[in-house]
Homo-oligomer: A and B are copies of this chain.
Amino acid sequence: MNLNISETKIAFGGEQRKYTHYSEALQCDMTFSIYLPSTNEQQKIPLVWWLSGLTCTDDNFSQKSGFQRLADHHQVAVIIPDTSPRGENVADDAAYDLGQGAGFYVDATEKPWSEHYKMYTYITEELAEIATSLVPNFSGKESIMGHSMGGHGALVIGLKNAKRFKAISAFSPILNPIQTPWGKKAFSTYLGEDQESWKSWDASELIKKTNAPPIMISQGTKDGFYPEQLEESTFLKNAKEYNQSVEYIKHDGYDHSYFFISTFLDDHFAFHVKHLK
């Protein structure tokens, strides 16, 4: 495993680390962050995944959410991947919602994107192997959360691997990308024009196809991308029809920012920890 540690910061007693490595799945150098709580060497430590939104790197959640306080308190490790492959040789687009910083957590099938944009495989296989090896006294249990595009990623990855992830939660997620503008643009680019193929990357479709882990979703009412990009009705209708455990909470006055995430992160961590025990 070709892994270089580039930064270690103590935060709330634990260690906020940054690593770089060459990704075989993505065929480029990648950076990720991981938080390892202080440990008494007896307690088993679960792993929570955080997937970030458009334009983010592994730094946004690490620096702006204050999650380390909760992760150390609850004694969980948190892995924060980057949001796409990176580098001069990696396909890109001038728009903020396509290309580098906007991988949408799919495995692309269309050229030139298919050469590097395999974020689903990267996260579920390659980075998973690395991350679980870094957690001291790993409990073997994982859960996943994310924001916006990363909320979509958390739901898609969690639902496609429903036995592996004990809980899924999301802030302001893209719940029905095959029907909303960001998703349509990304999926037609990465996956091509066969819209049938898009369904395997859409939470509102996937919720019909598995026995889902418990799901919690927080959405701010003053979010500038809501409801256009973040429409929830199809997801909630399908979840209800298939008898899934979904808690969808609207928060008055909150927007799409990290101020919203940091305010309700306590609730999300408590939800995950309950199911990771």
Using a CB–CB cutoff of 8 Å, the interface residues on chain A facing chain B are 9-13, 16, 63-66, 68-69, 220, 222, 253-255, 257-260, 262-263
Contacts and interface: CB of A to CB of B under 8 A. Distances in A.
A10 B260 contact: yes
Nearest to A65: B66
B68 A10 contact: no
21 contacts: A9-B257, A10-B220, A10-B222, A10-B254, A10-B255, A10-B259, A10-B260, A11-B259, A11-B260, A11-B262, A11-B263, A12-B262, A13-B263, A16-B259, A63-B63, A63-B258, A64-B64, A66-B66, A66-B69, A66-B262, A69-B262
Nearest to A72: B263
Nearest to A252: B10
Contacts of A9: 255, 257, 259
Contacts of A253: 10
Contacts of A64: 63-64
A14 to B, nearest CB: 10
A255 B263 CA distance: 26
A22 to B, nearest CB: 27
